């Protein structure tokens, strides 16, 4: 039976990656006195090694073997668990991961890194580094090569008595044979006639030849080609030379004395089954011995009172017999003796002598096929083995890999369906207003069902793109470990809500901003252990990553318990850099927000870590480009919290529908701060078209969408008594958008303008509404820029 191992590989990979995560997190929180913790790490490594060996990931198995050995020495206190060792083990997990990924069409593995880490592991373990994985593999393949090539041929050559008379010389044939390989010749003299009947021309000898050679049967037959019809020739191949001293071809007789302890059956070993295994080696005669049998009243059902004497005729080695009794080695007396060899000729002399008469070739070859199936069998088996080893690609049974493009196209199609459904719903509603009847009711029911199914379908499809945020979070324990090590700070990282799901695209893009925020917290937020102790805090600082859902968004909080933002310093810096005016009054919150301004950096010196030239403004910009927001809360000496708010998906948007002139626009709900009805008195005109709104002790500029989009401006804004204004925010800047009417809020499916039309500044896309009309989605950051350009243009015109 052959079993395709590849079907288990995806499970193996899954649990291996899981195991690596366990190892990594265990190592990061390493505490040498915690026995269970190191056992857990060891177990993970152990499982990876075992699976890797079983499923043919030999490199992984070899590499992990050293890791496992080191862990074993650490847990048994043979090695002291130094931070250096822990780091080496962490690097090893990286290597194992890289090896596994490389085997799954991942990036090419960095062989140098692997071999260096492996070398260091071996150094620590005191193993000579030269026995590398590759070499071991080589020798093993060489071994198997010899196994396959060098066979032991047993040739039974019984010439007709008149062979010499046709000019043949057996000795020459043997010479030819010896050119093929090592040859052992044994002569059989059991067909000698009585001396009186002896004829000098006749040949009364036959031979048993043993040839160790990689030749084929044809090669041997060729040697005897000319005497084919004048002899009986039996050629058979036996296994590998098991006993080089000789006596290989024929069965040896073994005497096995097996005296099990009385309680052997309680180990689950059954002698009769052992004997059955023994029978597979050859013919055996099993004789039970009853000498240990007690009186009947003393018999116990749990005990075994028998012992055995077994005579086995087999070509096997002593080791093969021992292996059968391997499990009971300590539970029995076992004597294995090889009896003086028995060749077929002596065992069965009469049959040999009767073959003196000329035999037909077909008859002579009859014994050959007997051995052949065995050879074929092993060949197939080894082939099956090697194909299993080569099968590194998993057949993914539980999950399938799909091109994201296909998923996106599916999402798009569902988006269209949602729009169509909304249109139909609208028609249905209109219809019920003008007519009634059972048909209309049925239509209405159907439409409701359609709506529900469409919504479910949309959610399901969206979920295809969703992955747990742990994919991003998982990289941070390592980051925190490495960074805090460099900074000389003690840090505990707490993760929560790792299972919160988020769109794959959003996730791919959030990693870098998050990394930056965490580095920032570690570098600027947390104090050194000394500073913390002086401030009455525990030596170890805490950074917490918390993800959760809130109203159609995912929120990721990065919380540290460090020194908090220094508002005074920030204020001074902002003045110095000209970001604010000296006379500007700002509250603490507003000052904190300044760190997101372009060109702001308070670090006294640019450190290796946070100060990589990427400022918080870039972080904010990246997050906003995902339709998200970042905010900050800080309390002196208690710590800071950076809150990142992200949409669950980029395909759908929570929007506020507004009317401007005759068109409907969508404002992303996330950017709206407030909508107000402002009287003209609150609006001040400054130079030309520009207008400022006095809003909560602040002046914010107003953008008139009619002007910006060059809509029909028949009704100038100032002719109205009051204006409806949506105050929106982007990049920490607020502007007011003048709109004519507020419609409802709804989810809209985003259609790309770039793909379907062209990129338009100030618009992030379009959507189709329930009535079939197109609404443009406003991009607040773009609008602000467009507004500025427009005002400048207007100012130039005016001038």
Partner 1 sequence: MGTILVVDDSASIRNMVSFALKQAGHQVTEAENGQDGLKKAQAGRFDLVLTDVNMPLMDGITLCGELRKLTPFKFTPILMLTTESSDSMKQKGKTAGATGWLVKPFNPEKLLSTIQRVVR
Give yes or no for residue 30 binding partner 1 (CB under 8 A): no
Give yes or no for residue 40 binding partner 1 (CB under 8 A): yes
- Among 20, 46, 173, 654, indicate the residue that binds partner 1 (CB under 8 A): 46
- Among 17, 32, 37, 53, indicate the residue that binds partner 1 (CB under 8 A): 53
Q: Which DSSP letter does residue 204 get? A: -
Minimum CB–partner distance for residue 238 and partner 1 (Å): 20
Other C-beta atoms within 10 Å of 673: how many? 14
Residue with structure tokens 């009054």?
585
- Among 29, 54, 146, 190, indicate the residue that binds partner 1 (CB under 8 A): 54
Give yes or no for residue 625 binding partner 1 (CB under 8 A): no
Give yes or no for residue 15 binding partner 1 (CB under 8 A): yes
CA dist 514 and 626 (Å) reads 13
Angle, alpha carbons 469-666-713 (nearest 5°): 155
Give yes or no for residue 273 binding partner 1 (CB under 8 A): yes
What's the N-to-C CA distance of the chain in angstroms? Answer: 92
The most distant pair of C-alpha atoms in the chain lies apart, rounded to whole Å, by 149
The candidate with the shortest Cα–Cα distance to 278, out of 320, 340, 240, 230, is: 320
Give yes or no for residue 55 binding partner 1 (CB under 8 A): yes
Give yes or no for residue 12 binding partner 1 (CB under 8 A): yes
Of 19 and 668, the one with the shorter C-beta distance to partner 1 is 19
- Specify the 3-state DSSP secondary structure of 543: strand
Give yes or no for residue 257 binding partner 1 (CB under 8 A): no
Of 321 and 724, the one with the shorter C-beta distance to partner 1 is 321
Minimum CB–partner distance for residue 729 and partner 1 (Å): 50
Of 8 and 308, the one with the shorter C-beta distance to partner 1 is 8
Fill in the per-residue mask, 384 to 423: x = in contact with partner 1 (CB under 8 A), - = not in contact.
xx--x-----------------------------------
Q: Contact region for partner 1 (CB under 8 A) — 53-61, 96-104, 345-353, 609-617? A: 53-61
Phi and psi based region of residue 574 (left: phi greater than 0; alpha: psi -120 to 50; beta: remaining): alpha
For the chain, what is the total number of helices (H) and then of strands (E)? 26, 26
Alpha helices in 495-554 (DSSP H): 504-520, 529-534
CA dist 214 and 149 (Å) reads 5
322 touches 281 (CB < 8 A):
no
660 touches 707 (CB < 8 A):
no
Interactions with partner 1, residue window 307-326 (CB under 8 A): 324, 326
Q: Which DSSP letter does residue 367 get? A: G
Of 267 and 436, the one with the shorter C-beta distance to partner 1 is 267
- Among 23, 26, 41, 51, indicate the residue that binds partner 1 (CB under 8 A): 51
Other C-beta atoms within 10 Å of 257: how many? 15
Give yes or no for residue 672 binding partner 1 (CB under 8 A): no
90 touches 71 (CB < 8 A):
no
Give yes or no for residue 50 binding partner 1 (CB under 8 A): yes
Minimum CB–partner distance for residue 242 and partner 1 (Å): 19
Residue with structure tokens 């992303």?
668
Give yes or no for residue 5 binding partner 1 (CB under 8 A): yes
Give yes or no for residue 86 binding partner 1 (CB under 8 A): no
Q: Which DSSP letter does residue 522 get? A: I
69 touches 125 (CB < 8 A):
yes
Minimum CB–partner distance for residue 148 and partner 1 (Å): 18
Of 50 and 529, the one with the shorter C-beta distance to partner 1 is 50
- Among 229, 270, 335, 771, indicate the residue that binds partner 1 (CB under 8 A): 270
- Among 30, 42, 254, 258, indicate the residue that binds partner 1 (CB under 8 A): 42
- Specify the 3-state DSSP secondary structure of 441: helix
Of 40 and 242, the one with the shorter C-beta distance to partner 1 is 40
- Among 25, 26, 49, 507, indicate the residue that binds partner 1 (CB under 8 A): 49
- Among 144, 348, 378, 381, indicate the residue that binds partner 1 (CB under 8 A): 381
- Among 17, 28, 37, 43, indicate the residue that binds partner 1 (CB under 8 A): 43
Of 29 and 382, the one with the shorter C-beta distance to partner 1 is 382
Of 382 and 499, the one with the shorter C-beta distance to partner 1 is 382
Of 42 and 709, the one with the shorter C-beta distance to partner 1 is 42
CA dist 616 and 390 (Å) reads 49
CA dist 556 and 630 (Å) reads 9
Of 263 and 608, the one with the shorter C-beta distance to partner 1 is 263
Q: Length of the chain, please?
A: 799
Q: Contact region for partner 1 (CB under 8 A) — 24-32, 54-62, 253-261, 402-410? A: 54-62
Of 276 and 430, the one with the shorter C-beta distance to partner 1 is 276
Give yes or no for residue 600 binding partner 1 (CB under 8 A): no
Minimum CB–partner distance for residue 42 and partner 1 (Å): 8
Q: Which H helix or E strand runs over 288? A: strand 282-289
Give yes or no for residue 61 binding partner 1 (CB under 8 A): yes
Write the DSSP assignment of 673-731 as a string of letters.
Answer: EEEEEEEGGGEEE-STT-EEEE-SS-EEEEEEHHHHTT---SS-GGGSSEEEEEEEEET
Give yes or no for residue 63 binding partner 1 (CB under 8 A): no
The candidate with the shortest Cα–Cα distance to 632, out of 643, 622, 646, 624, is: 643
Minimum CB–partner distance for residue 43 and partner 1 (Å): 5
333 touches 257 (CB < 8 A):
yes
Give yes or no for residue 360 binding partner 1 (CB under 8 A): no
660 touches 711 (CB < 8 A):
yes
- Among 190, 266, 322, 360, indicate the residue that binds partner 1 (CB under 8 A): 266
CA dist 55 and 188 (Å) reads 51
Of 275 and 600, the one with the shorter C-beta distance to partner 1 is 275
- Among 136, 166, 277, 390, indicate the residue that binds partner 1 (CB under 8 A): 277
- Specify the 3-state DSSP secondary structure of 765: strand
529 touches 646 (CB < 8 A):
no
The count of residues interacting with partner 1 (CB under 8 A) is 43
Give yes or no for residue 302 binding partner 1 (CB under 8 A): yes
Contacting residues toward partner 1, per CB under 8 A: 1-3, 5, 7-9, 11-12, 14-15, 40, 42-43, 46-47, 49-51, 53-55, 61, 265-270, 273-274, 276-277, 302, 324, 326-327, 330-331, 381, 384-385, 388
């Amino acid at each position: 039976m052959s079993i395709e191992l590849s079907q288990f590989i995806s499970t193996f990979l899954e649990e291996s990656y899981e195991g690596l995560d366990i190892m990594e997190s265990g190592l990061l929180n390493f505490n040498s006195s915690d026995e269970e913790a190191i056992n857990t790490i060891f177990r993970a490594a152990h499982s990876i090694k075992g699976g890797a060996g079983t499923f043919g990931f030999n490199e992984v198995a070899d590499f992990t073997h050293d890791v496992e050995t080191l862990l074993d020495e650490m847990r048994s206190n043979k090695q002291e668990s130094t931070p250096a060792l822990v780091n080496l083990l962490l690097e090893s997990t990286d290597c194992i991961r890289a090896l596994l990924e490389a085997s799954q069409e991942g990036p090419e593995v960095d062989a140098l890194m692997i071999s260096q880490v492996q070398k260091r592991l071996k150094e620590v373990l005191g193993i000579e580094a030269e026995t590398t994985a590759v070499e071991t593999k080589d020798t093993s393949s060489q071994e198997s090569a010899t196994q396959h090539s060098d066979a032991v041929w047993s040739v039974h050559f019984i010439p007709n008595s008149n062979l010499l008379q046709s000019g043949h010389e057996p000795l020459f044939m043997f010479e030819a044979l010896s050119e093929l390989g090592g040859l052992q010749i044994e002569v059989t003299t059991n067909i000698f006639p009585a001396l009186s009947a002896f004829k000098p021309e006749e040949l009364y000898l036959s031979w048993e030849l043993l040839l160790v050679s990689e030749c084929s049967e044809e090669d041997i037959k060729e040697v005897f080609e000319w005497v084919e019809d004048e002899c009986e020739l039996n050629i058979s191949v036996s296994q590998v030379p098991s006993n080089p001293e000789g006596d290989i071809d024929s069965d040896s007789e073994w005497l096995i004395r097996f005296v099990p302890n009385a309680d052997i059956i309680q180990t689950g070993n059954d002698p009769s089954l052992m004997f059955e295994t023994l029978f597979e080696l050859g013919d055996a005669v099993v004789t039970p011995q009853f000498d240990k049998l007690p009186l009947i009243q003393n018999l116990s059902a749990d005990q075994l009172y028998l012992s055995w004497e077994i005579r086995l005729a087999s070509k096997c080695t002593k080791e093969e017999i021992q292996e059968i009794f391997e499990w009971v080695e300590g539970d029995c007396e076992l004597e294995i003796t090889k009896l003086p060899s028995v060749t077929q000729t002596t065992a069965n002399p009469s049959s040999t002598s009767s073959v003196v008469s000329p035999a037909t070739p077909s008859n002579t070859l009859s014994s050959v096929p007997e051995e052949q199936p065995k050879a074929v069998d092993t060949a197939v088996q080894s082939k099956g083995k090697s194909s299993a080893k080569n099968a590194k690609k998993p057949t993914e049974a539980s999950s399938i890999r799909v091109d994201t493009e296909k998923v996106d196209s599916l999402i798009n199609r569902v988006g269209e369906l949602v729009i169509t459904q909304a249109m139909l719903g609208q028609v249905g509603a209109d219809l019920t207003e003008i007519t009634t009847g059972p048909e209309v009711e049925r239509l209405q029911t159907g439409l409701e069902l359609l709506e529900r199914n469409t919504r479910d379908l949309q959610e399901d499809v969206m979920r295809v793109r969703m992955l747990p945020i742990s994919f991003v979070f998982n990289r941070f324990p390592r980051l925190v470990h490495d960074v805090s090590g460099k900074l000389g700070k003690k840090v505990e990282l707490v993760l929560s809500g790792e299972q919160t799901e988020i769109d794959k695209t959003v996730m791919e893009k959030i990693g870098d901003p998050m990394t930056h925020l965490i580095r920032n917290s570690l570098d600027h937020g947390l104090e050194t252990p000394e500073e913390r102790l002086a401030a009455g805090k525990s030596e170890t600082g805490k950074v917490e990553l918390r993800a959760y859902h809130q109203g159609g968004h995912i929120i990721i909080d990065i919380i540290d318990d460090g020194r908090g933002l220094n508002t005074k310093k920030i204020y001074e810096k902002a003045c110095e850099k000209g970001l604010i005016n000296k006379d500007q009054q700002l509250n603490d919150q507003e000052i904190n927000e300044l760190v997101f301004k372009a060109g702001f950096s308070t670090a006294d010196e640019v450190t290796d870590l946070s100060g990589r030239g990427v400022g918080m403004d870039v972080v904010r910009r990246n997050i906003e480009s995902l339709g998200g927001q970042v905010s900050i809360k800080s309390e002196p000496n208690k710590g800071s919290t950076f809150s990142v708010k992200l949409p669950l998906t980029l395909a759908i948007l929570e929007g506020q529908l507004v009317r401007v002139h005759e068109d409907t626009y969508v404002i992303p709900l996330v950017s709206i701060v407030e909508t107000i009805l402002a009287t003209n008195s609150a609006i001040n005109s400054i130079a030309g078209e520009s207008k400022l709104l006095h809003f909560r002790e602040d002046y914010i500029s107003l953008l008139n969408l009619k002007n910006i989009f060059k809509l029909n401006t028949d009704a100038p804004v100032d002719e109205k008594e009051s204006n409806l204004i949506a105050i929106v925010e982007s990049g920490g800047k607020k502007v007011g958008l003048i709109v004519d009417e507020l419609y409802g809020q709804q989810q809209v499916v985003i259609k790309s303008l770039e793909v379907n039309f062209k990129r338009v500044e100030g618009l992030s896309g379009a959507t189709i509404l329930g009535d079939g009309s197109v609404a443009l989605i406003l991009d607040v950051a773009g609008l602000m820029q467009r507004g500025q350009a427009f005002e400048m243009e207007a100012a130039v015109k005016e001038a």
